[in-house]
Amino acid sequence: MIFKHDVIIVGAGLAGLRAAMEVAGAADTALLSKVYPTRSHSGAAQGGIAAALGNEEEDFWEWHMYDTIKGGDYVADQDVAEILAKDAPRAVYELEHMGVPFNRTPEGKIAQRAFGGHTRGFGKAPVKRACYAADRSGRVILDTLYFEGVRKGLKIYPEFHMLDLVMKDNRVVGLVAYELATGEVHFFHCRAVLLATGGYGKVFKTTSNAFASTGDGVFLAYRAGIPLEDMEFVQFHPTGIYGLGVLISEAARGEGGILRNHQGERFMERYAPTIKDLAARDVVSRAIATEILEGRGINGRDYVHLDLTHLGEKKLAEKLSDITSFVKIYLGIDAATELIPVAPTCHYMMGGIQAGSHGRVLDTEQNPIPGLYAAGECSCLSLHGANRLGCNSLLDLVVFGRRAGTSILQDLKHLSWDDPPAHPMKEVQDRIRSLKERKSGEKHGRIRSAMQETMTRNCSIFRTEQSLSQALAEVRALKQQAGRVAIDNLGTRFNTDLLEALELEYLLGLAETIVVSALGRKESRGAHFRDDYPERNDDDYLKHTLVQRTDDGPQVSTKPVTITIYPPKPRTY
């Protein structure tokens, strides 16, 4: 079928929903989501949303801006970090007024807690800046925004899977989507597309991300020739449940939890003497990995302990109840009396589709591509630099989701309807047909696992030229094999076998851009640590990486970082 709407938003996480609130009602707006909308990964966010409200302790947006820049190891654009930190209180009060049930202080203000890398007085001590609803902050914000979207008349297409972005003369005219329930392929004709498709943690073996975090929007933009930015910066969260990767929010350490090695030592005192367990995530993850490599993991194995036993049952029940129950369900452990085995888990992608702080997607010359916008984790606004701070993603989604929505409304005044190409669905239909017709071949699950293995072994917390070259060779070999995938399910209803086969191409393509970008950065900065270049090198690498698809493979270039008030300094916590 052919559907027609002024604006199509792809993704029902907080970025897509917050943008939709600006546009729905004012223009004919549709929202597509490959998972049922309220199952978007934003709903899994636990710890909270950052804003210098100063409800519990003195705080200023300048401190928040500084922490964001330092957290990003000085490749965060300072003008963008300023927008984030300044707009944060307004954004949080807006959520409050929409009905988000935040925890409260005794006098009824929004309660706040400490989070990694958020400090008082430019790094002097941890500060309580994260606004939260127990440890299900994303859940309550997602439900609230979804309800607002429905109320505003947003047209929702649940379980519609975008498979192609349709461009004509360097502008967007629509997209192609697969309807999961029926197997039909549809063309959506529109004037503007917002990509809000989330992250791609599924490139790695152990991740806190949802099954759907396969980077579809990022890859489809890349395939359409749009540059991706800062792809080498992949965040590993320090505390995934060992072996599973399920997240134990930083809120656990924000509320006083302590990391311990096999001797029971609070080892973060050695790595970050000032703010210890609440240092930025890259610092804590490297510390855990170092403890493990040097034989101080628990029983010599590849995990450490998170100790919440001193917090008491009341606090665990009031502030960390979901985490307490995850630990019980997955490990049979009572967090009030037992230590939790944890190890770093792939959590967040700082890199993504290159876009400006207005949400307009930019081409290589830094010009906006007419009709194309990006927001949320799939985008790179040069905001989080080399390492995102905890609670700054939810904030990014609502601040910059809103800005993208505002830009779309402005631009609709001059964005015209363009005729689509003659057969916009043909390429996708051919791809599906050829997959279904192939009688025998490779299994997508096997190739996906092999990719996750090599990325985890060779391109995670510690990297070298050699390990990265190894990853690149393996990913390229797997890409060849992926061209020969055959599927078992030839049906039309809820054919996830088919969709996973299609997602494999995205994951492999993104893995390649991560590795190629990482090879180009011969220094250590934030989440990108090169054993062969262990120092930060501002002379040569204080810049963003861009990667663009060409017929000869990914092409890497750079662009400058915007520095306004905080000159780069050595980064210690």
Ligand X SMILES: Cc1cc2nc3c(=O)[nH]c(=O)nc-3n(C[C@H](O)[C@H](O)[C@H](O)COP(=O)(O)OP(=O)(O)OC[C@H]3O[C@@H](n4cnc5c(N)ncnc54)[C@H](O)[C@@H]3O)c2cc1C
Which residue numbers are catalytic? Answer: 281
**Strand-by-strand arrangement of the 340-349 sheet:** 234-241, 340-349, 304-307, 258-260
Q: Directed axis angle between helix 14-23 and helix 392-412, to 10°?
A: 30
- Alpha carbon distance 378, 13 (integer Å): 11
Question: Which CB atom, from 180 or from 542, has the smaller least distance to ligand X?
Answer: 180
| 350 contacts 234 by C-beta, under 8 angstroms | yes
Q: Does 16 bind ligand X (CB under 6 A)?
A: yes
CB of 403 to ligand X, least distance (A): 14
Residue 384: DSSP 8-state: S
| Site track 79-118 with ligand X (rule: CB under 6 A), x = hit | ----------------------------------------
Question: Which CB atom, from 221 or from 472, has the smaller least distance to ligand X?
Answer: 221
Q: Does 138 bind ligand X (CB under 6 A)?
A: yes
Residues from 172 through 201 that contact ligand X (CB under 6 A): 196-199
**Strand-by-strand arrangement of the 543-550 sheet:** 379-380, 352-354, 228-229, 543-550, 553-560
CB of 251 to ligand X, least distance (A): 7
Residues recorded for the chain: 573
Question: Which CB atom, from 377 or from 505, has the smaller least distance to ligand X?
Answer: 377
Q: Quick one: which of 8, 21, 42, 245 contacts ligand X (CB under 6 A)?
A: 42
- Alpha carbon distance 150, 490 (integer Å): 35
Q: Does 345 bind ligand X (CB under 6 A)?
A: no
Please enumerate in sequence order all residues whose Cβ is within 8 A of that of 209, keeping only pairs 6 or more positions apart, or say none: 41, 199, 200, 201, 202, 346, 347
- Alpha carbon distance 96, 100 (integer Å): 5
Question: Which CB atom, from 156 or from 335, has the smaller least distance to ligand X?
Answer: 156
Distances in whole angstroms, Cα of residue 415 to Cα of each of 155, 175, 419? 21, 16, 13
Q: Does 495 bind ligand X (CB under 6 A)?
A: no
Q: Quick one: which of 67, 73, 216, 474 contacts ligand X (CB under 6 A)?
A: 216
- Alpha carbon distance 325, 339 (integer Å): 14
Q: Does 377 bind ligand X (CB under 6 A)?
A: yes
The stretch near ligand X (CB under 6 A) out of 255-263, 269-277, 336-344, 374-382 is: 374-382
Q: Does 504 bind ligand X (CB under 6 A)?
A: no
The stretch near ligand X (CB under 6 A) out of 40-48, 256-264, 480-488, 508-516 is: 40-48
Q: Does 348 bind ligand X (CB under 6 A)?
A: yes
- Alpha carbon distance 19, 375 (integer Å): 8
Q: Quick one: which of 6, 7, 47, 500 contacts ligand X (CB under 6 A)?
A: 47
Name 343's bridge partners: 240
From the list 399, 556, 215, the residue with the least C-alpha distance to 381 is 399
Q: Does 208 bind ligand X (CB under 6 A)?
A: yes
Contact positions vs ligand X (CB under 6 A): 10-16, 32-35, 37, 40-42, 44-49, 137-138, 161-162, 196-199, 208-209, 212, 216-217, 247, 249, 348, 376-378, 391-394, 397
